[in-house]
A and B are shown apart, each in its own frame.
Chain A
Amino acid sequence: MTSFFRGKISFAFKLVALLLIASVLITLTQSAVAQGEYFIAAFLGITVFLLALTYLTKVSIPLKFFLPGILLLVAFVLSPIIFTVTMSGYNYKTGNIISKDEAILQIQNRAFEPDANGTSFDIKIGRYQAQEALLVSDSVNNAFFISTVRDRIPLNPADLTINEYGVAESAPDFAVLSDSEMANADKLYSGKRFTYQDEYFIALEGFEVGIVSRQVLSFDAEKDQFNNIITGEVYTDNGKGNYAIADNPDQYLEPGWRAPVWFENYTKLFTEERLRGPLISVFIWTVTFASLSVLTTFALGLLLALALNKPIRGRRVYRSILILPYAMPSIMSILIWGGMFNTEFGAINNLLGTDIAWFQNALFAKFAIILVNLWLGFPYFYLVSSGALQAIPSELLEAAAIDGANPRQIFRRITLPLLLQILSPLLIASFAFNFNNFNLIYLLTGGGPRAELDGELAGATDILISFTYKIAFGSSVQDLGLASAISLVIFLLVAGISLYGLRKSKVLESFQ
């Protein structure tokens, strides 16, 4: 067995496995390069290099153990964090997703208007000399021509097949698209400008009508601005990812691009009234929710631990029942509680004989959340408190009893302070966990109730993390830049709390 790890066979095995992995990764790298994903390609390339270096040489023995874990962490934890940090410095939201070059291209392509008469033609789409082409029927002038991106070729009506509506169906050298080609035609034809005359061109409106149009905006690359050819308006780069009229900033061109705005997403949190108000109330509720959750779960858990800290009859059965809520997959439990709080069909109203709309009223919704979290969380504190109670030396309690302390005094002066000392890191960890307890809020109330029509951004039970999720993935505007900025603030808060807790638990000292 020992020789297996030293011998030639093992080396051969290792080599084959490495080669297999490397070949897969190299293939992926190549396709990534082909798609222009250079960051990912570079990561994959470096991965192959590091794998070979680590497992074929003896550069570093610890790295042999670390490498797979590090690679996964970098790819799916560290790089998303760096991406988030970077995005928080950008104006990155719906309408400002693409790069500047792409935005300029799209603005140019979209900025055309029909001619003064609104001239339109019946058309057939197809190919002429292997190029995308239109067979155009100008029924007003009874003229027919083929139009490609480069040329316009006049046709003689005598050569054409013309249907009863005066529309040309086919022409010599013009290949009408087959049905299967039609399926992909949108990508090839729409957005193209087919030649008409002077500055006018034909743009497609569906696959059967062409509209005579002309360009409205022209891009001046030297001055980095768009000029409206017709009205003479000038759109300049407003520094926030849009071309806008200098005197009238609300009038800007779509789409914009993701532009660096540095700390604007952060300053916005404090300066923009529309954002600051909800943020403050959400923050207060987040802290309240997390504190109340810790307090209630710990209190009930401790009470149970005290009650069962004596070998009473049925203790094992009690224990198994009490930890059931903890053993259930929490997703299922939260959804079930959500159903129980349903106004019409839920068991809670049914049991109480009421018809409270639990999730429509802020106070009731908050109460429901705390209650559900109590159900989910008390078994954990029951378990850890039981353990901690047994860890308190019995001599201490006996000594106090001999000195004449009554049970209540013993609990308040000795047991509780000791327990708190033992459990404080877990209490802090629980606070940090609840601070970001996204699943509970999202699945139970969805952050509601929220007066959406009044333009409220946050619901009454939204905590910071669910509010951020709404900003990033909400239905109307998705503002990833702003969400990233809030994410970072939350990270700092939670890291602060947790580091404080860890210092208390002295975990870090073991590395001194």
Chain B
Amino acid sequence: MITWLRTNAWRHALVISVCLFSLFPLYLVVISSFNSTGSLRLDSFIPREISFANYKMLFNDPAIPYLTWMKNSLVVAGATAILSVTIGSASAFAFSRLAFKGRKTGIQMLLLVQMFPAILAISAVYVIMERVYTFAPSIGLGTQAGLLLIYLGGAMGVNIWLLKGFVDSIPKELDEAAKIDGASAVQTYWLIFMPLAAPVLAVVSLLSFIGTFNEFILARLFLVDMESRTVAVGLQQFIGGQYSENWGPFAAGSIIASVPIVIIFLSLQKYIVNGLTAGSVKG
């Protein structure tokens, strides 16, 4: 028992205190979501009341189109995830497997372009989409389709980079065998590579989905209509601006929005962590 204390007690003590640190804000949000006073105050560690008023407000108040926001986020993030991985994997395959002039320059350019901080190009993107709006209002400024296009462009660099890492790890012998059997590059891609890479593609799509779901600034700048907002932008107004510091519905809304993502993340943590280490930091 004494040796156990000496060797393991400090480990438990340290880890438990950090666990408390990491749980505290989350616990606070959970109890605030069941608290009808709308503040993030911690009056007692055990909630005094359990009220569903905040949750009801989200779903019943016609001024708060929460379900629409959720749907918008899911549609935009889902479409970005699927399309960017579909388009990105083709490029990654070419970078990894096809020999062509300028391959090295291409991938270095890709890296360099990726380093330009996206936020700083916002003004240019804004001006471009403003102009697109003048002749094609359905994909210009203020539309989800326009936002999707921008996300796709922005996701290309990271996704190609990440996917290339995965493609490199698939044994070359497989597609060389296909080549000997007379398969073209396009056939190798669809018939050999795609089935093999499917699990990896799923993980990268997931990362892309989480990244897009988390995006705030572009969505805030582009989606002006109440009805077209994403959930992050929509919820943010509870605590800044017209609703001024109304934490109850914010807490409830962010719990509903976060739970699925947290569950997916925890259940696939092994794969996601591998992907993150291969690429860079969570953005």
**B-contacting residues of A (Cβ < 8 Å)?**
1-2, 5-6, 28, 31-32, 34-35, 37, 40, 60-62, 64-66, 68-70, 72-73, 75-81, 83-84, 87, 300, 303-304, 307-308, 310, 312, 314, 318, 320-333, 335-340, 342, 345-347, 350-351, 375, 378-380, 383-384, 387, 426, 429-430, 432-433, 436, 438-439, 442-443, 465, 468-469, 472-473, 480, 483-484, 487, 490-491, 494-495, 498, 502, 508, 511-512
Contact = CB atoms under 8 A, between A and B. Distances in A.
B152 A72 contact: yes
A351 B41 CA distance: 9
A335 B235 CA distance: 10
Nearest to A321: B19
A338 B124 contact: no
A436 B115 CA distance: 10
A124 to B, nearest CB: 34
B113 to A, nearest CB: 6
B199 to A, nearest CB: 20
Q: Is the interface of A mostly helix, strand, loop or mixed?
A: helix
Interface string B257-270: 11001100110010
B76 interface: no
Contacts of B23: 321, 324
Contacts of B91: 65-66, 69-70
A87 B25 contact: no
B116 to A, nearest CB: 5
Nearest to B113: A77
A81 B121 contact: yes
Interface of B: 8, 10-12, 14-15, 18-19, 21-23, 25-26, 28-29, 39-43, 87-88, 90-91, 93-94, 98, 100, 103-104, 107-108, 110-113, 115-125, 127-128, 131-132, 134-136, 149-150, 152-154, 156-157, 160, 183-187, 189-191, 210, 213-214, 216-217, 221, 232, 235-236, 239, 245, 247, 250-251, 254, 257-258, 261-262, 265-266, 269, 273, 276-277, 280-283
Q: Is the interface of B mostly helix, strand, loop or mixed?
A: helix
Contacts of B14: 303-304, 307
A114 to B, nearest CB: 36
Contact of B22 (A87, A312, A321, A494): A321
A309 B139 CA distance: 52
B239 A387 contact: no
B260 to A, nearest CB: 10
Given A76-B150, A387-B277, A345 B282 contact: no
Contacts of A511: 103-104, 107-108
B120 A468 contact: yes
A326 B18 CA distance: 14
Contact of B282 (A69, A80, A87, A326): A326
A346 B217 contact: no
A6 B184 CA distance: 9
B258 A429 contact: no
Nearest first, the 7 A-B pairs at minimum CB distance are A76-B153, A487-B120, A80-B124, A65-B94, A327-B265, A83-B124, A80-B121
A10 to B, nearest CB: 10
A230 B152 CA distance: 57
Contacts of B87: 68-69, 72
Contacts of B127: 83
A323 B283 CA distance: 16
Contact of A347 (B28, B94, B121): B28
Given A77-B153, A307-B10, A511-B108, A31 B216 contact: no
A381 to B, nearest CB: 10
A472 B123 CA distance: 7
Contact of B124 (A65, A69, A81, A333): A81
A333 B25 contact: yes
Contact of B98 (A65, A310, A322): A65
A77 B136 contact: no
A201 to B, nearest CB: 32
A480 B126 CA distance: 12
B28 A340 contact: yes
B130 to A, nearest CB: 10
Contacts of A432: 115
Contacts of A310: 8, 11
A329 B26 contact: no
A224 B186 CA distance: 60
Given A69-B87, A332-B257, A429 B280 contact: yes
Nearest to B152: A72
A277 B118 CA distance: 26
A225 B117 CA distance: 41
A350 B132 CA distance: 50
A61 B186 contact: yes
A87 B257 contact: no
Nearest to B134: A35
B19 A62 contact: no
A384 B272 CA distance: 12
Contacts of A439: 216-217
Contact of A62 (B88, B100, B113): B100
Contacts of B277: 383-384, 387, 426
B258 A328 contact: yes
Given A65-B94, A83-B124, A321-B22, A75 B281 contact: no
Contacts of A84: 120-121, 123-124
Contacts of A436: 117, 119
A329 B232 contact: yes
Nearest to B118: A77
B41 A346 contact: yes
B275 to A, nearest CB: 11
B186 A465 contact: no
A78 B113 contact: yes
